[in-house]
Structures are given as structure tokens and as C-alpha cells.
Amino acid sequence: MSDHALTILLGISSVAIAISGFSGVVAVFGGRADGKWSPAERFRTTNMLILSLGACLLSFVPLTEEAFQIPEQALWTTSSFLLFVFCASYFVYTITMLRNPALRRPGGLLIWVRVVYFICLTLAGVLQALNVAGAPVKRGAGPFIAGLLFVLIQAGLQFAFLVLTPLTSADL
């Protein structure tokens, strides 16, 4: 693994931890510690935590594999496979959660946010499937890192809406 890939993976894990850590700050200072959570806020917070901590954990997979001196191609194949499984399972989980009537009410979750969310999750999964297959992309760090970034985009989007949307907003 190149030093460049190592630096990027460690940077991604740092950003992921920062996003998940700020969720506690948002919960406490946003008055949400008193139990004033709307279903949309609970959904966003859960997404933010799972996505950011998942990205953090998965960014350490190739580093751990390298410590065991796993060959480069196998390293990126298994790392991408695990990220693909994460994306696919979280896609199914999110679809299941969106069946909740409280989240489907008008203004519960913005349509464009849902579209961006599923586009990023789908792109991350497709990139990982291509990296596992080795075609049309060359197996390596690029697709894996791009997939992690797509996952972090979603976590950041959830974070932005938690911070920027006040509790009394009609957009919830």
C-alpha cells in the first residue's frame, strides 16, 4: 500500500470520528437530550452515527490486512467486498426504515436529500463491486477510497441537517 493511500485512509477515519463525535454535541446543545427528538431527527442521527463509524471501521480494514502482509490485490478485494456488504445492507435497512409513516409525512425528510443519499450509497456499492470484479477499474485503493468518501458525504449531509435545522422548523 502506498503512503498516499495510507494517509488518505487515516484522514477518512479522522473525519468519520469527528462527524460521529459531533452528534453528541448536537444532541446535548440542541435540546435533544431532554427527549425532544422528532422521528426525522432520530433517523438522521442514527444514519450519521452508523455511516460515520462504519466508514471509520472500514478505513482500518486495509491497514490491518497490510499488517498481516496480505497481497495487494487480495487486500483491496476483501476491503471492497466488506464495504459493498455494508452499503448493500445499509441500503436495505434504510428502505425498511423509510416505511415508517412518521418519516413519510410531508416535510419529514426532504426529497432531494433522499435522492442524494441513495445516489451516494449506490455509487459506493457499485464502485466496490467493480473493484472486487477488477473490471473496468483496476483493483486498488482508488475505488475503495472513493466509496468511503461517498459514505462520508451521506454522514456529513445528515450532520448538516441536524445542526442547521432547528427543532421548531416546519421542514422536519
Confidence at residue 107, expressed as pLDDT on a 0 to 100 scale = 61
Q: Give CA–CA dist 24/45, Å, rounded.
A: 9
pLDDT of residue 170: 47
pLDDT tens digits in sequence order for the chain, 172 residues long: 778 777 887 888 888 777 777 766 666 556 555 666 777 777 888 888 888 888 888 988 998 888 899 999 999 999 999 999 999 999 999 999 888 877 776 666 777 878 888 999 999 999 999 999 988 888 888 999 999 999 998 888 887 777 776 544 444 4
> Residue 167: CB partners within 8 Å, gap ≥ 6?
30, 31, 32, 36, 38, 41
- The pTM of the full predicted model, rounded to 2 decimals, is 0.83
> What integer pLDDT is reported at residue 128 of this predicted model?
96
Q: Let me know if domain 3-30+39-164 sits in CATH 3.30.460.
A: no
Rounded-to-integer distance, Cα 151 and Cα 144, Å: 11
d(CA 34, CA 75): 45
Return the pLDDT at 126: 95
| Every domain of the chain and the residues it spans | 3-30+39-164
Cβ pair 42, 60 in contact under 8 A: no
What pLDDT, on the 0 to 100 scale, is given for residue 172? 41
